Structure 1
Amino acid sequence: MTELWNWRIEQVRPVEVYPALAEALGRVVMPLAAADPARLPTYAVICDVWQAPGEFATIVDCYGVPERLSEHGSVAALARLLDRNCLLRDDTLDAGRHLLVAPDGTIRPVHFDVRETDDGELLTNQRLCTEADPRCRGWSQCHRSRWAPDSVLPALAAA
């Protein structure tokens, strides 16, 4: 069984993402546009990288990732290699809640305002998920997550 990962990165050119992603995953990374399923090595990961509007405008989709690879560890390695913050979806159904992965490997929950545009999902107004914010207290979706408000964990602990 393989997995699908979807991440966002602070402004970085897609051409810089592919080699860093290959190093982070320890796998051959094939751009989606160039991947021929008939000639694809069994250990390759297919990725699509493109630009969207707003904060964290570089989007990465990884297809066919082996289950034994840790998503949190892999995105933390990518953040370190690119020296950029990365985002991945958290475990709630809140479209604006993500996990921020810093280049030092720490992971914390954050919120964004989300708006659909003709060019894709627009994320703006980044803010920490914290008990100081009334929207994150009490019975909010934030408390149903394994990433409680104000949590900060190293990527290896999250794996």
Structure 2
Amino acid sequence: MTELWNWRIDQVRPVEVYPALAEALGRVVMPLAVADPARLPTYAVICDVWQAPGEFATVVDCYGVPDRLPEHASIAALARLLDRNCLLRDDTLDASRHLLVAPDGTIRAVHFDVRETDDGEVLSGQRLCTEADPRCRGWSQCHRSRWAPDSVLPALAAA
């Protein structure tokens, strides 16, 4: 079985992502636009990288990722290689809540204002998921996550 990963990166050109992603995953990374399913090596990962509006404007979709590759450790390796903060969705159904992965490998929950546009989802107004924010207290979806408000974890602990 294979997985689909969807990540966002802070201020990086898509052309820089492919080689760093290949190194982070230890796999051949094929751009979706040129991937020929009949000629793909069995260990290849197909990726689509593009620019979107808003914060964390570089979007990365990875298709066919093998189950045995740990997502949190992989995105932490990518953040380190690019020296950029990265985002992935958390485990709640809250569209505003993401996990911020720093180049040093730490992971923490954050929120964004999310707006849908013709060009895709626009993220703005980043803020920490913290008990100091009334929207994250009590019975909020934040407490249903394994990433509780104010938690900061290393990527290896999250894997």
Offset from partner CA, 1:102-145 (integer Å, 9 cap, x none): 00000000000000011110000000000000000000000000
Offset from partner CA, 1:13-46 (integer Å, 9 cap, x none): 0000000000000000000000000000000000
Residues in 2 aligned to 1:11 and 1:54: alpha-carbon distance in whole angstroms = 10
Q: CA deviation at 1:9?
A: 0.2
Offset from partner CA, 1:18-76 (integer Å, 9 cap, x none): 00000000000000000000000000000000000000000000000000000000000
Offset from partner CA, 1:59-98 (integer Å, 9 cap, x none): 0000000000000000000000000000000000000000
Equivalent residue, structure 1, for 2:92: 92
Residues in 1 aligned to 2:131 and 2:102: alpha-carbon distance in whole angstroms = 21
Gap runs ≥5 in structure 2? none
Residues in 2 aligned to 1:88 and 1:59: alpha-carbon distance in whole angstroms = 10
Moved over 2 A (4+): none
Gap runs ≥5 in structure 1? none
Residues in 2 aligned to 1:139 and 1:17: alpha-carbon distance in whole angstroms = 38
SS at match of 1:38: helix
Give the TM-score normalised by the residue count of structure 1: 1.00
Q: CA deviation at 1:158?
A: 0.1
Residues in 1 aligned to 2:68 and 2:93: alpha-carbon distance in whole angstroms = 25
Equivalent residue, structure 2, for 1:76: 76
**How big is the alpha-carbon RMSD for the aligned residues of Structure 1 and Structure 2?**
0.3
SS at match of 2:38: coil
SS at match of 2:146: coil
SS at match of 1:139: coil
Give the TM-score normalised by the residue count of structure 2: 1.00
Residues in 2 aligned to 1:51 and 1:29: alpha-carbon distance in whole angstroms = 18
Residues in 2 aligned to 1:23 and 1:99: alpha-carbon distance in whole angstroms = 22
Q: CA deviation at 1:100?
A: 0.1
